[in-house]
């Protein structure tokens, strides 16, 4: 179906700037919600990542060579 005129510009602009068009499995199902399992996996990954960054920060802070020379 070919759309002409003003409607064509709106449809073209909407698809052109749609954030999810680069993800292949979301092109067709853009308006579906994520499942509980997907949310749980995502939140666990974020939590583990933040925890790992905190551990890394404390490791670097304790083993800082400049701080060890001062004390």
Contact 18, 26 (CB under 8 A): no
Query: What length does the chain have?
Result: 71
Summarised one tens digit per residue, pLDDT across range 2-12 is: 555 555 555 55
The pTM (predicted TM-score) of the whole model is 0.50
Helix (H) or strand (E) holding 33: none
Residue 51: half-sphere exposure toward Cβ, Cα within 13 Å: 6
Contact 24, 30 (CB under 8 A): no
Summarised one tens digit per residue, pLDDT across range 23-43 is: 666 666 667 788 999 999 999
Q: Which residue ranges make up each domain of the chain? A: 1-31, 33-71
- Reference 49, options 41, 59, 39, 37; nearest CA is 41
């Amino acid at each position: 179906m070919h759309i002409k005129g003003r409607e064509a510009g709106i449809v073209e602009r909407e698809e052109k700037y749609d954030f999810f068009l680069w993800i292949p499995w979301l092109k067709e199902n853009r308006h579906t919600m994520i499942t509980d399992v997907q949310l749980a996996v995502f939140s666990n990954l974020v939590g583990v990542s933040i925890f790992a960054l905190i551990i890394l920060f404390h490791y670097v802070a304790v083993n800082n060579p400049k701080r060890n020379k001062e004390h």
